[in-house]
């Protein structure tokens, strides 16, 4: 079993009166991927969609507060490496996309028909826990796996903040191959 902790960093400094942090853990056991995110701090300043019953696959979740993961397999990712993007909303909605290479030919990943995750929203913390996603149909036996972890946090002022383990370019870009920094 491979388990790794992470801490996301904002792309740009956030106003000093908005104290937030995002930490979590990734676990890979056989072909089951689990990711837990913890947003903590002054959540009164964060726009968080309420949890809905009947969560479903939805597009454009990154336009609101959204937690994301990017998965590639094989040698170190490049702009020609195929990869997957997963989006998790505090509303319970989700999506997974397959991309042929860097930002090209994004399609909903049909091999994933459900993305089971839990949401716990408290006044000073928001916890999202993706439970054991079976990735065997995506990556087969290709190893290593490369993971990028990120989040878009929308403040109630309307401004978006971009968080990731690594910010390898001059603009926020979670798709950049050098942001896939966790090797599992």
Residues 31-79: pLDDT tens digits?
899 999 999 999 999 999 999 988 899 999 999 999 999 999 988 999 9
Give the domain CATH number at 127: 2.60.40.1190
Q: Are 165 and 180 in contact (CB under 8 A)?
A: no
State the Cα–Cα distance between residues 131 and 37, nearest whole angstrom: 12
Asked if 41 and 59 count as a contact pair (C-beta separation under 8 A), the reply is no
Residue found by looking up tokens 């036996």 in the block = 141
Q: Could you tell me if 49 and 91 are in contact, meaning their C-beta atoms sit under 8 angstroms apart?
A: yes
Could you tell me if residue 89 is inside a domain?
yes
In a domain? residue 141 = yes
Residue 110: exposed, middle, or buried by beta-carbon count in 10 A (0-12, 13-18, 19+)? exposed
Residue with tokens 């979740």: 61
Bridge partner list, 153:
161
The pTM is what? Answer: 0.94
User: Which pLDDT belongs to residue 17?
Assistant: 56
pLDDT in tens, 143-177: 889 999 999 999 999 999 999 999 999 999 999 99
Non-local (6+) Cβ contacts of 28 within 8 A are 1, 2, 3, 34, 145, 184
Count how many domains the chain has.
1
Q: Does residue 13 lie within any of the structural domains? A: no
Residue 59: which domain range? 2-8+21-183
The pLDDT value recorded for residue 167 is 95
């Amino acid at each position: 079993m491979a388990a790794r902790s992470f801490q996301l960093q904002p792309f740009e400094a956030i106003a000093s009166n908005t104290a937030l942090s995002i930490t979590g853990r990734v676990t890979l056991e056989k072909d089951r991927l689990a990711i837990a995110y913890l947003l903590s701090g002054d959540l009164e300043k964060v726009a968080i969609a309420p949890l809905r019953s009947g969560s479903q696959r939805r597009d454009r979740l990154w336009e609101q507060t959204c937690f994301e993961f990017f998965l590639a397999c094989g040698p170190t990712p490049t702009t020609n490496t195929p990869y997957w993007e997963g989006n998790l909303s505090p509303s319970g909605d989700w999506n997974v996309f397959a991309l042929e290479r860097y930002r090209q030919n994004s399609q909903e990943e049909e091999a994933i028909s459900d993305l089971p995750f839990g949401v716990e929203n408290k006044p000073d913390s928001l916890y999202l826990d993706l439970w054991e996603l079976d990735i065997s149909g995506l990556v087969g036996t290709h190893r290593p796996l490369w993971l990028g972890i990120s989040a878009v946090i929308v403040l109630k002022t309307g401004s978006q903040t971009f968080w990731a383990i690594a910010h390898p370019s001059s603009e926020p870009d979670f798709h950049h191959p050098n942001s896939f920094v966790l090797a599992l």
